[in-house]
Structure 1
Amino acid sequence: MTKSFVFVTGNANKLREVQQILQAGDSGISCTSQSVDVPELQGTTQEVAIAKVKAAAEKIGGPCVTEDTALCFDALNGLPGPYIKDFMGAVGHDGLNKMLVGFNNTKATALCTFAYSAGPGSEPILFEGRTEGNIVPARGGPGFGWDPTFQPVESNGLTYAEMRAEDKNKISHRYRALEKLKTYLQAQA
């Protein structure tokens, strides 16, 4: 039995990665996408994810999944965190590195949070995935978001942008969160 969900995103790169991961695992789970304008709130990654999926479920009128990504620098006590999109827009890849000048710590955690709602009024369920790494000078082309500046610990010295998509999708924060969501959805089928 194939299980499907509506992935609320207007980001073609996120959709592509999610679909690649779902297809690679032969999970019997697929997704369609719908772009819905939901407020971008401030708060912890969990607070942001819960508010976003609740708003999306109300607008769609049914079950849906949202995704939020954070990039948390150890030296900055977790910042930029869920605000990485705004930081990237303001300072770019080079600016992410400059933010760490004066610190002896380039460690960072890539964090993905998928939020699932069974529909309007339902309590959201969160699925988080983490990948540990370091912030490095941009390598590997423009990539997706901050991929050129994030070098996972388990990547043999490559940034996400330098990795083949199928290799990235085996260790990424998004993969790890999506695996948890897939397990949940398969149990519900």
Structure 2
Amino acid sequence: MLSYVTTNEGKVREARDYLDAVESVAFDYTEIQADELGPIAARGAREAYAHVGGPVIVDDAGLFVEGLGGFPGPYSAYVEETLGVERVGELARRAGATRAYFRCVIAYCDGAPFEATPEPIDYGDRRGHDLAADERATATTDDAVVAGDLPVRLFEGAVPGRIVEPRGDGGFGYDPIFEHDGRTFAEMATAEKNAVSHRGRALAKFGEWYQERSD
């Protein structure tokens, strides 16, 4: 069974559109500070794998405003909690920086190595990388090797849009200020949003690869 380590059941429902069997697991993994989404998701996937003891996926996502140097990017959740969504929208519009995109990285770890494919692999700091697979599989988050020795496959999805005045009552986070194809994410029904979302695009890539790995 594949575990999606998240407390957001909406993410799990979305994942089931692309995966035959996936369950949600609540686990408070470490969210490190980094300038890119990949290392954050990869570290979380390693800790989640050590906790669950089986195949896991973890995701990290953010809103990247091009004219603001990619802000808030990997810090989107923190900025939402501190500045607020409407304030971010105001900053972008005042700067004339309305071009933006949502990005999501799905990180997968099952304790085993991967064959070469176009998707990147995060090896962390490679400490203990030569340990036997069964030693890695029984590691806990207190073990030094967990932080960097397990390979993690990364799958990215992105969707372009622009920053607008808040519109719509649906969605969550930055959805009311992010317009794609004439409507904000908050104006779309859940199924419509999932069909074009950054997370959906990352899950589609992962689902195709995971089916081949499972065969």
TM-score, normalized by length of structure 1? 0.87
Unaligned runs of 5+ in 1: none
Q: Hey, what does 1:115 align to over in structure 2?
A: 107
Tell me how far 1:148 sits from its aligned partner: 1.1
Q: Which amino acid aligns with 2:54?
A: G
The one of 166, 176, 182 equivalent to 2:201 is 176
Whole-angstrom distance in 2 between the partners of 1:52 and 1:66: 7
Measure, in 2, the Cα distance between the counterparts of 1:13 and 1:78: 26
Equivalent-residue separation in structure 2 for 1:180 and 1:59 (angstroms): 25
- Alignment RMSD: 1.6
Structure 2 residue corresponding to 1:67, chosen from 41, 56, 59: 59
Contact 1:113 1:126 in 2 (8 A): yes
1:68 CA drift (Å): 0.7
Q: CA deviation at 1:142?
A: 5.1
> What is the rounded CA distance, in whole Å, between the counterparts of 1:34 and 1:133 in structure 2?
32
Gaps of 5+ in 2: 112-136, 138-148
> Which whole-Å CA distance do the structure 2 matches of 1:142 and 1:161 have between them?
4
The separation in 2 between residues aligned to 1:116 and 1:93, in whole angstroms, is 29
The residue type paired with residue 198 of structure 2 is H
Do residues 158 (structure 1) and 183 (structure 2) align? yes
Name the CA shift for 1:142/1:90 in 2 (closer, same or farther; >3 Å): farther
Match of 1:100 in 2: 92
2:28 is matched by which residue type in structure 1? D
Asked whether the 8 Å contact 1:147–1:159 carries over to 2, the reply is yes
Q: 1:92 Cα deviation (Å)? A: 2.1
1:141/1:162 contact within 8 Å kept: yes
Aligned residues: 177
Which residue matches 1:135? 163
**Aligned match of 1:42:** 33
Give me the whole-angstrom Cα distance separating, in 1, the residues matched to 2:94 and 2:193: 30
Deviation at 1:122, TM superposition (A): 3.4
Helix, strand or coil at the partner of 1:40: coil
97-106 or 63-72, larger mean C-alpha shift: 97-106
Preserved CA contact (<8 Å) 2:60 2:105? yes
Q: 1:94 to 1:151 in 2, by over 3 A?
A: same
Aligned partner of 1:40: which letter?
A: E
Aligned to 1:8: 5
2:64 and 2:100 in contact (8 A); partners too:
yes
CA contact (8 A) 1:13 1:144 kept: no
Deviation at 1:82, TM superposition (A): 1.4
Distance (Å, rounded) in 2 between the aligned partners of 1:176 and 1:133: 15
Aligned partner of 2:177 in structure 1 is 149
Identity rate, percent: 34
